[in-house]
Structure 1
Amino acid sequence: MKPTPGLRRQIIQSLAVMALGIIGLSVIGSYVFYGFALTYLPGSISDSLVPSRVELVWIVCTIIAALALAVVVAIRLSRRLISPLNAVAHSLRDVAEGKLDARAPLDDQAMGETAQLVRDFNAMAERLQGMTREREFWNAAIAHELRTPLTVLRGRLQGLAEGVFTPSSELFEGLLRQVDGLGRLVEDLRVVSLNDSGHLDVQRIRVRLADELRAVLQAFATPLADKGFRLDAQLDTELEVACDAVRLRQALMALLENALRHADPGALHVLLARVDDDCLLSVEDDGPGLDSALAADLFEAFRRGEPSRSRQSGGSGLGLAVVKAIIEAHGGQAYCQPSAQGGTRFVLRWPLTPSR
C-alpha cells in the first residue's frame, strides 16, 4: 500500500503549486504577451507608466486566471480536508445520540492525518459498541446467576412465613448454602471487576507454595475420589515464591472445581514447578477435551465451553475468570491447551520475582 503524505506536506505542496502557477502565469505570460504585442501590435504598447487598453486587458485576464488557479487549488485542498472532518463530526453527533453503529465514511481522497482521524474514530466507535454489548451481556448474565438462588431463598422463606414448611436444621442448612453461593458469586464478581479496572491488589509474601497448595489438594481428595478421579500431584517442595498464597489457593480450588464439574473421571495431574524464571502451576485431566475455538474465550467471565453441560453441573461461569484475574494480578497469564491424554491442561504461569 502506498503511504499517504502527511497533512502538513500536502498543504505545503498545494500552496507551492499555487504560488508557482501564479508566478509562472505572470512572468512567462508577460514575456509571451509583450513578444506577441511587439511583433504584431507595435502601437498597442504604452511608453508611459499608464498601461494601454491592450495591456489593461492582459492585466485583467492575468488576475482572473490567477484567481481561478487559486480557487481550484483551494477547493481541492479544502475538499480533502473538510470532507473527512465533516464526516467525523456528523458521526460523532450520531454516537452522542446513542447510535453506536454510526461510522464515518473514508473518502479515497482523504489525506494523511484526516484519513487517520476517520480510521481512529471508526475504531473507537467499534470499541464503544463492543463495550456496550459486553456490558449488556454482563448485566443479563449476572441477573441470570442471581435469579436462581434468590428464587429459592424467597420460596423457602415465604413457605416458612406461611407455615408451609416446618422449620428444621436441614431446611436452614439449605438456606445457608444458598446464601454461601450468593456470597461466592459476589466475591467472584468483585475480583473480576477489580482486575478489569486494574485495582486488584495481591499481598505477596515469600512462601513454600507446595505447602500452601497441599492443603487444597487434601480438602479435595475425598470429593475427587467419590467422582472417580485419581489425583496425581507433583509439587516442587523446595520452590519458594513471592506470592499471595490465599489467592493462589483460590485459583487452584477453582481449577479443581472445574475438573469436578466438567472432566471425565480418570487421572487428574497437578503440577507445580519452576520453568526458567517463572512459576508454573497446571491441572491436567483425561477428557473430554475442548474445541480450540472455545478454548480461546474460556477464561472470560460467563463464557462456558458447553453451556448446557455447565448449567446442568452448576457453576456461575466465573471460576476460570477469577483464576485469570488472580494470575494477571501476579503479572502472569492463564491459558489452556490440549493434553497428551486427550483432555485439557490448564496452565497458570507467572514470574517468580515480582516486576513491581
Structure 2
Amino acid sequence: MKLEGLSREIARSMMAIAFSVSLFMLLTSYAFFFLWKTYWPENFDAENMVPTAPEWLWMIGTTLAGLALAVVVGINLSKRILVPLNSVADSIRRVAQGDLAARADAGDPSLGEAASLADDFNLLAEKLQRMTQEQTLWNAAIAHELRTPVTILRGRLQGLAEGVFEPKEALFQTLLTQVDGLARLIEDLRVVGLAESGHLDLHVRKANLDEEIQDVVAFCDAALRSARQRVVLDLQAGVVPCDPMRIRQALLALIENVRRHAVAGTVLIQSRLDGANVCFSMEDEGPGIAPEFASQVFTAFRRNPAAHTQDDHKGSGLGLAVVAAIAQAHGGQANCRSTNRGGSRFEISWPRV
C-alpha cells in the first residue's frame, strides 16, 4: 500500500515513537546496570553483562515487531481520520463546481474534531444551498411583480403616444396607481434587503404610539370601509421609544394585509405595555392562517394559496416580511397565531428600553 500525505506522516510518527521507546528501554537498561556495578559491585556479575545471541535476536525482534505494530496502528488511525477530511475536501471541490447538494461523510463520530469539521461543512453547504434557492425565488418573484405594472404602463403610454387612448384624467390616475405600486414594491424590497443585511437604520425617539396608530387608521378608514371592515381600537401604550415612520410602515402593511385577505367584519387593533416590552396587535375575524403555512407567513414572497382576497391583485408578498423586518430592527419580533374566533392575530413587540 502506498502511503501519501497525512497517512505517511502518521505512520512515520508512530514508527518514530515505537523506535524511540525501544531504544529508550535498551539504553536505560544499560544505565541501570552501570549504576548497579558502580554502587553495588558485590552483587554484580560482570560475566552475564554481554548479551547472548538469543538475547540480541530477542531485542531486535521486539523492536521490529514494535515498528510493524506502529505502522499498522498508524495506517488504521490515518484511515479513520482521513475519511471525513477527504470527504470534506471532495465536497468542497464539488461545491466549487456548482454542486450545492454535496455533503461530507463525518465518518466515526468518536474522532471529535475531524467529525465536527465535516458536520460544520455540511451545515455551511446546507445554508449556502438554501440561500441560493432563496435568491432564485427572489429573482423570479421580483420579475413577476415588476412585469404586471411595467406591462400596463408600457401599454398605456404606447397607446397615448400612438393616439389610441385619449389623455383623460382617469387614464393618468391609472398610470399613477401603477407607479405608486412600483414605488411601494421598491421600498418594501429595500427594507427587507437592508434588514437581512443588518443595515436597516432606525431613528428611535419617544413617540406616542397610540396617536400614530390612530393617524394610520384614519388614513386607511375609507379603504377598510370599502372592504366592509370596521376597526375597533383598544390603545393603552402611550409614549414609547420607536421609529414612528417605520412603525407606521409596519401598521400600513398589516392593515393592507387585513384589507386584502380578511373577511368582512371587525378588526381589533390593540396597543399595550407588557412588562419590559411594547406590543401592538391586529386581529381579524377570518379566514385564519393554515397551520402548514403559519411558519412561512413572515417570509418574503410567500403567499397563502388558500387566502381570501378582496380584489384581483394578490399583493407583492412582501408586506408581512416588512413587518417582521421592522420588528427585528427594533430588537423585537413579529408573530402570528390563530384566534378562537377563527381569525388571525398579528402582533409586534419590542423592548421599551
Normalising by the smaller structure, the TM-score range is: 0.7 to 0.9
Tell me the alpha carbon deviations over residues 310-336 of structure 1, each in whole angstroms, 9 at most, x when there is no partner: 693431001111111111111111011
* Alpha-carbon offset, residue 108 of structure 1: 2.8
**Could you tell me which residue of structure 1 aligns to residue 226 of structure 2?**
226
Amino acid at match of 2:126: E
What pairs with 1:41-60 in structure 2 (closer than 5 Å)?
53-60=53-60
- State whether residues 277 and 351 of structure 2, in contact with CA within 8 Å, keep that contact through their aligned partners in structure 1: yes
**CA distance, structure 2, for counterparts of residue 245 and residue 319 of structure 1:** 17
**Could you tell me which residue of structure 2 aligns to residue 131 of structure 1?**
131
**Could you tell me which residue of structure 2 aligns to residue 145 of structure 1?**
145
* Structure 2 residue matching 1:270: 3-state secondary structure: strand
**CA distance, structure 1, for counterparts of residue 262 and residue 293 of structure 2:** 15
The 1:223–1:174 alpha-carbon spacing in structure 2 relative to 1, beyond 3 Å, is same
* Alpha-carbon offset, residue 306 of structure 1: 2.3
**CA distance, structure 1, for counterparts of residue 232 and residue 160 of structure 2:** 46
Tell me the alpha carbon deviations over residues 246-286 of structure 1, each in whole angstroms, 9 at most, x when there is no partner: 11111111111111100010111010111112111111011
* Alpha-carbon offset, residue 82 of structure 1: 2.1
**Could you tell me which residue of structure 1 aligns to residue 242 of structure 2?**
243
The two structures, once aligned, show a CA RMSD in angstroms of 2.8
> Normalising by structure 1, what TM-score?
0.83
**Could you tell me which residue of structure 1 aligns to residue 259 of structure 2?**
260
- State whether residues 21 and 69 of structure 1, in contact with CA within 8 Å, keep that contact through their aligned partners in structure 2: no
- State whether residues 18 and 66 of structure 2, in contact with CA within 8 Å, keep that contact through their aligned partners in structure 1: no
**Could you tell me which residue of structure 2 aligns to residue 36 of structure 1?**
none
**CA distance, structure 1, for counterparts of residue 165 and residue 235 of structure 2:** 49
- State whether residues 200 and 329 of structure 1, in contact with CA within 8 Å, keep that contact through their aligned partners in structure 2: yes
When structure 1 is superposed on structure 2, of 168-177 and 48-57 the one drifting more is 48-57
* Structure 2 residue matching 1:178: 3-state secondary structure: helix
**CA distance, structure 2, for counterparts of residue 279 and residue 83 of structure 1:** 53
* Structure 1 residue matching 2:312: 3-state secondary structure: helix
When structure 1 is superposed on structure 2, of 161-170 and 116-125 the one drifting more is 161-170
- State whether residues 294 and 305 of structure 1, in contact with CA within 8 Å, keep that contact through their aligned partners in structure 2: yes
Unaligned runs of 5+ in 2: 1-9, 30-46
**Could you tell me which residue of structure 1 aligns to residue 303 of structure 2?**
304
When structure 1 is superposed on structure 2, of 304-313 and 221-230 the one drifting more is 304-313
The 1:308–1:279 alpha-carbon spacing in structure 2 relative to 1, beyond 3 Å, is closer
* Alpha-carbon offset, residue 201 of structure 1: 1.0
- State whether residues 22 and 63 of structure 2, in contact with CA within 8 Å, keep that contact through their aligned partners in structure 1: no
* Structure 2 residue matching 1:153: 3-state secondary structure: helix
Tell me the alpha carbon deviations over residues 34-62 of structure 1, each in whole angstroms, 9 at most, x when there is no partner: xxxxxxxxxxxxx6987654444334322
- State whether residues 84 and 110 of structure 1, in contact with CA within 8 Å, keep that contact through their aligned partners in structure 2: no
- State whether residues 106 and 116 of structure 2, in contact with CA within 8 Å, keep that contact through their aligned partners in structure 1: no
**CA distance, structure 2, for counterparts of residue 328 and residue 72 of structure 1:** 57
* Structure 2 residue matching 1:336: 3-state secondary structure: strand
**Could you tell me which residue of structure 1 aligns to residue 199 of structure 2?**
199
The answer to whether residue 329 in structure 2 is matched with residue 329 in structure 1 is yes
**Could you tell me which residue of structure 2 aligns to residue 8 of structure 1?**
none
Tell me the alpha carbon deviations over residues 10-29 of structure 1, each in whole angstroms, 9 at most, x when there is no partner: x9xx97xx7599659x78xx
**CA distance, structure 2, for counterparts of residue 227 and residue 83 of structure 1:** 63
Tell me the alpha carbon deviations over residues 189-228 of structure 1, each in whole angstroms, 9 at most, x when there is no partner: 0000000000001111112111121111111222222221
**CA distance, structure 1, for counterparts of residue 293 and residue 73 of structure 2:** 55
Amino acid at match of 2:328: E
* Structure 2 residue matching 1:215: 3-state secondary structure: helix
**Could you tell me which residue of structure 2 aligns to residue 103 of structure 1?**
103
Unaligned runs of 5+ in 1: 1-10, 31-46
Amino acid at match of 2:130: G
**CA distance, structure 1, for counterparts of residue 134 and residue 55 of structure 2:** 74
**Could you tell me which residue of structure 2 aligns to residue 188 of structure 1?**
188
- State whether residues 81 and 110 of structure 1, in contact with CA within 8 Å, keep that contact through their aligned partners in structure 2: no
When structure 1 is superposed on structure 2, of 53-62 and 110-119 the one drifting more is 53-62
**Could you tell me which residue of structure 2 aligns to residue 155 of structure 1?**
155
- State whether residues 19 and 66 of structure 2, in contact with CA within 8 Å, keep that contact through their aligned partners in structure 1: no
* Alpha-carbon offset, residue 118 of structure 1: 0.8
* Structure 2 residue matching 1:312: 3-state secondary structure: coil
* Structure 2 residue matching 1:77: 3-state secondary structure: helix
The 1:78–1:109 alpha-carbon spacing in structure 2 relative to 1, beyond 3 Å, is farther
Identity of counterpart residues, as a percentage? 50
* Structure 2 residue matching 1:68: 3-state secondary structure: helix
**CA distance, structure 2, for counterparts of residue 308 and residue 234 of structure 1:** 27
**CA distance, structure 1, for counterparts of residue 168 and residue 136 of structure 2:** 40
**CA distance, structure 1, for counterparts of residue 77 and residue 214 of structure 2:** 71
Tell me the alpha carbon deviations over residues 58-91 of structure 1, each in whole angstroms, 9 at most, x when there is no partner: 3432232121111112112212222221111111
**Could you tell me which residue of structure 2 aligns to residue 5 of structure 1?**
none
Tell me the alpha carbon deviations over residues 155-180 of structure 1, each in whole angstroms, 9 at most, x when there is no partner: 11111222222222211221111111
**CA distance, structure 2, for counterparts of residue 199 and residue 267 of structure 1:** 37
Tell me the alpha carbon deviations over residues 121-157 of structure 1, each in whole angstroms, 9 at most, x when there is no partner: 1111111111111111111111110110111111111
**CA distance, structure 1, for counterparts of residue 293 and residue 312 of structure 2:** 18
* Alpha-carbon offset, residue 110 of structure 1: 5.9
